[in-house]
């Protein structure tokens, strides 16, 4: 009877009155305040309210029904497909919307509604994948800031590939400890590209020097990416480096000089195709001839292979506690092996390019160590 009177009254009520009445009806329904027959009538009335010409009435209905598991599913589904000011409540809150419902809405919605879905208390991997694949920057940013979002490695990669040029999104991605190493490297490349095109950098250095400086900076930063990459993700990072053409002998020289031997092992496994146990055993205790053969099997020239073997001996001693050394000492020993250390006659003709690279690495390490020492003195 009450619901019948409500329906008769709707035709003459003002918008504000209809909105208040819609909220009251929905609240009575979800709180089980109506007998069974009236509940059926109330459900029919709410369905009728979906056709109300005023979005304020439908929004009032949406807000009340948005957090209830007892809401009529057909009403919630219709509200989720309404205009943004109506659908926003159920999209961000309703427990009745399935992952398929949400994925469909992500596919056809604008960035604002996508961001609302990305802000739900819990976002499944499937919904997160949909946002990563088609979501606008605003939605991807909301997803990355949502502690309740389950984001797969592939979704991180898609966000980085699609929106890596956006500075705010790069910052959010790099701050996430779940970010895979290959994504970190990709974002570094975006940063490098942005810097090399910066009007200020170009004015100060010129295009050629700016490109060279940013390229070297990205290469050095790649070593930091290795430190932050879980060994289980080394394969993905190596694949990314190979795809970009960054897995060069010069890059491996830096890897060896800085003692990233675990990562080096992963690279050798990937390039040689040898079993992991064999490669790890050779790096740990293999004879020089066998280790050099492993490097050559990966396509490295003899001069690179031999200097790598020499550096590896030192890192083995460090691992066993037989000596204390770091990148500064190892890069100097590599130079000495090539005859390019201070006081030596100089490297052979075929080793000059390699020696120049190792010298640049050695000078970089010297500067970094001196800078760190100065800061420690200042802080003391």
pLDDT digits (tens, 9 = 90+) for 322-375: 988 899 999 999 999 999 888 888 898 999 999 999 998 999 889 888 888 787
pLDDT-based confidence at 308, cuts 50/70/90? very high
Sequence-separated (6 or more) residues with CB below 8 Å from residue 250: 219, 357
Q: How many CB atoms lie within 10 A of CB 73?
A: 13
| pLDDT at residue number 228 | 78
Can you read off the two tokens belonging to residue 5? 């009177």
Residue 79 pLDDT level (bands cut at 50, 70, 90) = very high
Find the mean pLDDT for residues 27-36.
78
**Please, how many CA atoms are within 13 Å of residue 277, restricted to the half-sphere of its CB?**
0
In a domain, 231, yes or no: yes
Please give the pLDDT value at position 229.
81
CA 5 vs. chain centroid, Å, equals 56
Q: Is residue 354 part of a domain?
A: no
Examine the domain organization and report whether 160 and 111 are in the same domain. yes
Selection from 319, 328, 309, 312 nearest residue 372 by Cα = 328
- H helix or E strand, kind and range, residue 347: none
pTM of the model: 0.64
Which one of 119, 151, 175 terminates a domain? 175
Does one domain contain both 166 and 198? Answer: no
Closest by CA to 157, choosing from 99, 228, 239, is 239
Q: Are residues 208 and 238 in the same domain?
A: yes
- Asked if residue 31 belongs to a domain, the reply is yes
- Residue 259 covered by a domain: no
Identify the band that residue 1 occupies on the pLDDT scale cut at 50, 70 and 90: very low
Both 104 and 168 in one domain: the answer is yes
In a domain, 269, yes or no: no
Q: Say yes or no: 186 and 238 in one domain.
A: yes
- Mean of the per-residue pLDDT values for the chain? 86
**220 and 187 assigned to the same domain:** yes
Domain count, the chain: 3
- Which range marks the domain in which residue 122 is found? 98-175
Same domain flag for 105 and 36: no
Are 238 and 203 in a shared domain?
Answer: yes
Task: Answer whether residue 368 is part of any domain.
Answer: no
CA distance 254 to 260: 9
Q: Is residue 347 part of a domain?
A: no
Same domain, 106 and 164: yes
Q: Per DSSP, what are the bridge partners of residue 149?
A: 123
DSSP 8-state code for residue 123: B
Residue 305 CA to residue 317 CA, distance in Å, equals 19
194: in domain? yes
Instruction: Return left, alpha or beta for 176; rule: phi > 0 is left, psi -120 to 50 is alpha, else beta.
Output: beta
**pLDDT, tens digit (0-9, with 9 covering 90-100), for 175-188:** 898 888 878 888 87
Domain closes at, from 118, 141, 175: 175
| 30 in the same domain as 63 | yes
Are 184 and 171 in the same domain? no
Please, is 6 exposed, middle or buried when counting C-beta atoms within 10 Å of its C-beta (0-12, 13-18, 19+)?
A: buried
Which residue, 160, 175, 190, sits at the end of a domain? 175
Same domain, 118 and 188: no
């Amino acid at each position: 009877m009450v619901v019948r009177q409500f329906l008769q009254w709707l035709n003459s009520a003002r918008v504000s009155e209809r909105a208040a009445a819609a909220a009251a009806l929905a609240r009575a329904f979800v709180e089980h305040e109506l007998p069974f027959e009236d509940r059926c009538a109330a459900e029919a009335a709410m369905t009728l309210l979906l056709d109300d010409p005023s979005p304020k009435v439908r929004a009032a209905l949406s807000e009340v029904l948005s957090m209830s598991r007892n809401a009529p599913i057909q009403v919630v589904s219709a509200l989720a497909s309404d205009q943004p000011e109506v659908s926003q409540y159920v999209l961000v809150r309703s427990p009745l919307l399935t992952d398929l419902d949400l994925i469909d809405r992500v596919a056809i919605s604008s960035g604002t509604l996508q961001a609302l879905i990305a802000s739900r208390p819990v976002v499944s991997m499937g919904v997160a994948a949909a946002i990563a694949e088609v979501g606008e920057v605003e939605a991807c940013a909301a997803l990355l800031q949502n502690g309740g979002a389950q984001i797969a490695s592939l979704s991180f990669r898609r966000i980085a590939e699609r929106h890596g040029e956006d500075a705010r999104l790069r910052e959010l991605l790099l701050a996430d400890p779940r970010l895979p190493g290959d994504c970190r490297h990709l974002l570094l490349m975006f940063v490098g590209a942005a810097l090399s095109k910066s009007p200020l950098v170009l004015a100060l250095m010129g295009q050629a020097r700016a490109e060279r400086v940013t390229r070297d900076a990205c290469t050095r930063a790649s070593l930091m990416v290795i430190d932050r990459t879980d060994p289980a993700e080394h394969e993905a990072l190596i694949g990314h480096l190979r795809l970009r053409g960054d897995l060069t002998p010069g890059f491996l020289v830096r890897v060896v000089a800085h003692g990233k031997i675990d990562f080096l092992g992963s690279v050798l496994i990937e390039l040689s195709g040898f079993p992991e146990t064999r490669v790890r055993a050779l790096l740990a205790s293999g004879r020089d001839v066998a280790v050099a053969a492993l490097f050559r099997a990966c396509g490295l020239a003899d001069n690179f292979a031999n200097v790598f073997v020499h550096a590896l001996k030192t890192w083995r001693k460090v691992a066993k506690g037989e000596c204390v050394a770091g990148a500064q000492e190892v890069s100097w020993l590599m130079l000495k092996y090539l005859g390019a250390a201070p006081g030596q006659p100089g490297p052979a003709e075929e080793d000059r390019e390699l020696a120049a690279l190792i010298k640049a690495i050695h000078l970089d390490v010297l500067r970094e160590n001196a800078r760190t020492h100065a800061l420690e003195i200042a802080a003391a």
